[in-house]
A and B are shown apart, each in its own frame.
Chain A
Amino acid sequence: TQLLEQSPQFLSIQEGENLTVYCNSSSVFSSLQWYRQEPGEGPVLLVTVVTGGEVKKLKRLTFQFGDARKDSSLHITAAQPGDTGLYLCAGVGGSQGNLIFGKGTKLSVKP
């Protein structure tokens, strides 16, 4: 069974601070996705990383896929209150490419 572990589970920081969220597995994934979910809404895709060692940037968010395609990280620079939400990583696996989700990191950025 493929599992994804996210850490930390909760993170509360002040506006302007930097943070990193980790997504780790013992399994290899063909690709990995990061989603953000706001209260009362469905997850929204932020990025998909496919190649081992790949780095993608989305404004103040930097996503990295591990060389062995077993782990990923999300780094946010100068966090803002608008970054508050639940961040979910999801590995693409199995014969049908179904998503396997981590349990999420709940981020709170205080002004």
Chain B
Amino acid sequence: NAGVTQTPKFQVLKTGQSMTLQCAQDMNHEYMSWYRQDPGMGLRLIHYSVGAGITDQGEVPNGYNVSRSTTEDFPLRLLSAAPSQTSVYFCASSYSGGTGRSQYFGPGTRLLVL
């Protein structure tokens, strides 16, 4: 199993550009989530999904959109990038909503918005 994969690994955007961060898992996990990690801020939840067709907002959802058309994929879209979205983005998955379950994290996407 590849686990959780994320592409791209690095990305530089100009303010106002759009892009999609890809996340895929091959463990048949129902729960998937996106976090951003900033220095001194820890990991903050952006959006999450408890199954295909079901998504919800986390702590910091503004400026990001998600959809979940399949169990395997959970892309994160930045519609109009801003410098404040410069961060490292992690996708994670687990069998359920995290209660006592192992969360598996991808390797991250490092995004710089100029």
Binding site for B on A (CB under 8 A): 30-31, 33, 40-45, 48, 50, 88, 90, 92, 96-104
Cα–Cα, bound, A33→B98 (Å): 10
CB-defined A-B contacts under 8 Å, sample of 18: A40-B108, A41-B107, A42-B4, A43-B103, A48-B101, A88-B42, A88-B43, A92-B98, A96-B97, A97-B97, A97-B98, A98-B45, A98-B58, A98-B97, A99-B43, A99-B98, A103-B40, A103-B41
Contact for A48 among B43, B100, B104, CB less than 8 A: B100
Residue total for B at the interface (Cβ-Cβ under 8 A) = 28
CB < 8 Å neighbour of A96 from B42, B48, B107 = B48
B interface residues (Cβ-Cβ under 8 A, vs A): 4, 33, 35, 40-45, 48, 50, 56, 58, 90, 92, 96-108
Contact between A42 and B105, CB atoms less than 8 A apart? yes
> A91: shortest Cβ distance to chain B, in Å?
10
**B90 A43 Cβ-Cβ under 8 A:** yes
Residue of chain B at shortest CB distance from A45: B102
Residue of chain A at shortest CB distance from B50 = A96
User: Which chain B residue shows the least CB distance to A89?
Assistant: B42
> Cβ of A88: which chain B residues have Cβ within 8 Å of it?
42-43
CB distance from A28 to the nearest CB of B (A): 13
In the complex, the answer to whether A99 meets B45 with C-beta atoms within 8 Å is yes
